[in-house]
Amino acid sequence: MKKIPVGISSCLLGQPVRFDGGHKRDAYITGTLSGYFDLRPYCPEMAIGMGAPRPTIQLTATGDQIRSVGVKNPDLDVTDKLREYARQLKSEHSELCGYIFKKDSPSCGMERVKVYTGGQPQKKGSGIYAQELMMLNPLLPVEEEGRLGDPKLRENFIQRVYVFYRWQKLLSEGLTPGRLTRFHARHKLIVMSRENYIDIGRIVSQATKANIHEIAGSYIVKLMKILKKVAHRKNHVNVLQHIQGYLKKELSPGDKAELCELIERYRKGEIPLIVPITLLKHHFRTYPDPYIADSYYMSPYPQELRLINEI
């Protein structure tokens, strides 16, 4: 698989674009993710001509608006320029399958950015550029580099990137009811790890040649919303037990007991998800099932990323 295009704050790649002329190079991003993602850097503050080093800016509440203004010089207001820069890149950003923002940035922070009211900060804002980008690209998987340190959030983001990449590939190949149905079938177990899949399945069942684009639009909005939820241990146990059902006639009593034991140990938090999944893969190599073989649940991204080793 070719590398997946993902936008990123330039400073996280080591580019000296910070307000002080420095950077915030992230070793996990540049070391691990760069092997799978085509990381495309953006620095809105540099792009609008602020330079590096440059005067620092902050989010300030002014009436019912939040503006991005200079810390030392409140007359320096770059709010509109940052929004316009995001709008100029709308077409370019539509090619992306994910975006990694720099946390706490008044231009690039995804959430909980300090907003000053009467000189007092509250962590309740989003960076101006990031906010505009997310509004213009509501389906795009986004995350901050700080939150990628959490194994569950990291796994969730990367899984969403791969799902969205596969969706973009489906669109490029041409939508048909059959292709949409297969796409959903391959991701159904992933949906089950978040919530009941029946409602979203009903959307797919309504697809015809005449309404395929309308149905597909409703489907992907629902799917990406569902996938924002982090899959918890209880949800994974339900999916593992569901998959186990495809082996109920094939496994010996001893093999069934071993699999049940591993799923229970995973439920208790004694072992990571990779352990029962590895055993399931072993059994399905012996007793293949076309639906399970076609599903992405047990192989949602390259195994070299080792994300399910930690959850």
pTM score, whole prediction: 0.96
Taking the chain (311 residues) in runs of 10, the rounded mean pLDDT of each run is 94 97 96 97 98 97 94 96 98 97 98 95 97 98 96 97 98 97 97 86 96 98 96 96 96 97 98 97 97 97 91 92
pLDDT at 255: 97
DSSP assignment string, 208-229: -TTTHHHHHHHHHHHHHHHHTS
Paired residues of 54 in beta bridges: none
Cα separation, 38 vs 243, in Å, equals 34
> Two tokens at 167?
């969706």
Contact 76, 48 (CB under 8 A): no
Sequence ranges of the domains in the chain = 4-149, 165-227, 234-309
Q: What is the pLDDT of residue 127?
A: 98
State how far the Cα of 195 lies from the Cα of 206, in Å rounded to an integer.
20
Report pLDDT for 182. Answer: 98
